[in-house]
Amino acid sequence: MTPRTRPRLDLDPATVKRARSLANRAGRPIVRLARQHTTVSVERATLRLAGLTGADADGTPWVNRLLDAVRGDVGLEHGVALPVWHALVREDAGDLNTLAQKAAVGELRFDMPEGQDATRARAAARRQVAAGVRRIDARRKERERLVRRWGDPEQKPWLYLIVATGDIYEDMPQAQAAAREGADVIAVIRSTGQSLLDYVPEGPTREGFAGTYATQENFRLMRAALDETSKELGRYVRLTNYASGLCMPEIAALAGLERLDMMLNDSMYGILFRDINPVRTFVDQRFSRQVHARAGIIINTGEDNYLTTADAVEAAHTVTVSQLLNEYFAKEAGLEDWQLGLGHAFEIDPAVPDSFRLELAHALLARQLFPKAPLKWMPPTRHMTGDVFRGYLLDGFFNLAGAMTDQDILLVGMMTEAVVTPWLSDRDLALQNVRYVVNAAGRLAEDFAPRPDGFIANRARQVLAESIELLERIINHENGLLDSIADGTFGLMKRPADGGKGLDGVARKTGGYYNPATEILEAT
């Protein structure tokens, strides 16, 4: 494949370096906070990596039942590993599933081991969790092998298309049809409200609301269906789901085990748009990104959502700040540039004069700030009116902006956005639109060179300057980023650090805390 020549802005390298340095300074206290705490979902993810699966007769996962029993006996601050494997070593049960079942009915109690008992429990826990991490390693190698065998799409941007029927058995043929029509990435949207469930449902599901539940079995079924179609088409079709919400770490682990390729995973989305506690979210996202790094999964961040609640011109700098923060948090957790699907969107009101030029400035700024990242470019949603002809035209402009600014992952816009759940025919028309624009534009990005003193370059420099000003204000807050989130800086949502859902699932680690998953992932 011939290397691409990217369009460029005349940005001052020292200014870019300062913006990134400020973002790192703003992010470091959050990383320290995350290192000092654990959550119920981090601990449940550790049990899942160790092989604990299944649910009781009421559908409550055994990881939840076991974690609740341990927490009730010894608390969460030590981690789940030592008390659980201490019980296994002393043969309270033969395996994790039996242990969970006994704990659920009160047949045993947990305690914290000491001395040689603690050493044996630590070694046993590490062996079993390490086996789960090796399974993730094997799935990553399997992906690499299949990409070599079947090949990648011939050109970028990768076309990213959403499937969301609620029924996994209906999702599969729709996803396969979309891939045959040209989609390179299939995203299965989660059922509405799943992010607020503090457990991961078990098994295949056939009833969801505006989406399909994220479960390990649903992941397995869809991955197998897309593998079948990848072989048929001679190109590897990627699968996306959501590692967000109260079970972010667990879903990340399940995605690694079932060879998903991309996961929506934003550092602040759950805080702002689902009112999940900030501390819970930052702890969970760090662990989940460590898993993604190990699994070779590309993350997609959610900056596009800010522009659905705040004005896309006035708040453009908040998108840039969030991208810089997401980059810092991701790299600190071990992700590489090629895994950073940083989000941005085409959401300026079409009635604004020069709206297309503004969109080009914002898109090109993101492209130049993160030249090695596979940016995820999101289509118009906020100003779609139900007029499908106008919507189809807006999506065409969006596709053209993506071609001109060399975006890597382009979510296919639907002219029926916010009107109905798309039919297969709607998706086919949307794919025709993007294919026409991308093919007609060709390598237009190589010829697109905004004047150094022109409207587009000046607008990009303005947004970058406003981003630096905002980062300086964040750093000067008494509690930094947490205060900025509390005062509504991002997406106009005010989320205090001591509020939101899931705070009761957070614990500050003690000196004797041990988690073999964290130990293994941080050593990578």
* pLDDT tens profile 179-215: 999 999 999 999 989 999 999 999 999 999 889 999 9
- The verdict on 124 and 255 lying in the same domain is no
- The verdict on 251 and 382 lying in the same domain is yes
Q: How many residues does the chain have?
A: 524
* pLDDT tens profile 259-273: 999 999 998 989 999
- The verdict on 268 and 401 lying in the same domain is yes
Confidence band (pLDDT; 50, 70, 90) for 4? low
Select from 95, 111, 130 the last residue of a domain.
Answer: 130
* pLDDT for residue 399 is more than 90: yes
pLDDT of 420 = 66
* pLDDT tens profile 66-81: 999 999 999 999 999 9
Select from 130, 153, 184 the last residue of a domain.
Answer: 130
For the question of residue 304 being annotated catalytic, the response is yes
Give the domain extent around 276. Answer: 244-414+426-455
* pLDDT for residue 3 is more than 60: no
d(CA 186, CA 416): 18
Active-site choice (261, 266, 304, 406):
304
pLDDT of 113 = 96
Residue 254 burial by CB count (10 A; 0-12/13-18/19+): exposed, middle or buried?
A: buried
* pLDDT for residue 2 is more than 60: no
How far, CA to CA in Å, does 487 sit from each of 29, 313, 322, 337? 18, 20, 15, 31
d(CA 187, CA 302): 14
How far, CA to CA in Å, does 6 sit from each of 162, 327, 365? 28, 20, 12
Q: Is position 488 within any domain?
A: no
For the question of residue 514 being annotated catalytic, the response is no
pLDDT of 98 = 97
Q: Is position 514 within any domain?
A: no
pLDDT of 426 = 85
Percentage of the chain modeled with pLDDT above 70: 98
pLDDT of 278 = 96
Neighbour tally for 26: CB within 10 Å: 23
Q: Three-state SS across 37-81?
A: EEEHHHHHHHHHHCCCCCECCCCCEHHHHHHHHHHHHHCCCCCCH
* pLDDT tens profile 123-140: 999 999 999 999 999 999
CB 268 within 8 A of CB 485: yes
* pLDDT tens profile 320-367: 999 999 999 999 999 999 999 999 999 999 999 999 999 999 999 999
pLDDT of 310 = 83
pLDDT of 424 = 73
d(CA 452, CA 473): 29
Confidence band (pLDDT; 50, 70, 90) for 477? confident
CB 456 within 8 A of CB 232: no
H helices within 109-185, ranges in order? 115-150, 168-180
How far, CA to CA in Å, does 387 sit from each of 262, 345, 383, 495? 32, 20, 10, 35
pLDDT of 303 = 85
For the question of residue 354 being annotated catalytic, the response is no
Percentage of the chain modeled with pLDDT above 90: 86
d(CA 211, CA 412): 17
- The verdict on 126 and 260 lying in the same domain is no
pLDDT of 304 = 83
Q: Residue range 41-56: average pLDDT? A: 98
pLDDT of 1 = 47
Select from 103, 130, 157 the last residue of a domain.
Answer: 130
Residue 390 burial by CB count (10 A; 0-12/13-18/19+): exposed, middle or buried?
A: middle
Active-site choice (213, 242, 269, 513):
269
Tell me the DSSP string of 193-235: TGGG-SS---S-----SSS----HHHHHHHHHHHHHHHHHHTS
d(CA 491, CA 317): 11
pLDDT of 410 = 96
Q: What is the mean pLDDT of the chain?
A: 94
Q: Is position 148 within any domain?
A: no
- The verdict on 254 and 119 lying in the same domain is no
Active-site choice (376, 406, 513, 514):
376
Confidence band (pLDDT; 50, 70, 90) for 302? confident
CATH assignment of the domain containing 358: 3.20.20.440
- The verdict on 265 and 394 lying in the same domain is yes
Q: Which of 41-45, 299-303, 396-400 has the lowest mean pLDDT?
A: 299-303
Q: Is position 342 within any domain?
A: yes
What is the token pair recorded at 421? 């759940």
Give the total number of structural domains in the chain.
2
- The verdict on 310 and 436 lying in the same domain is yes
H helices within 234-315, ranges in order? 248-257, 269-274, 278-295, 306-309
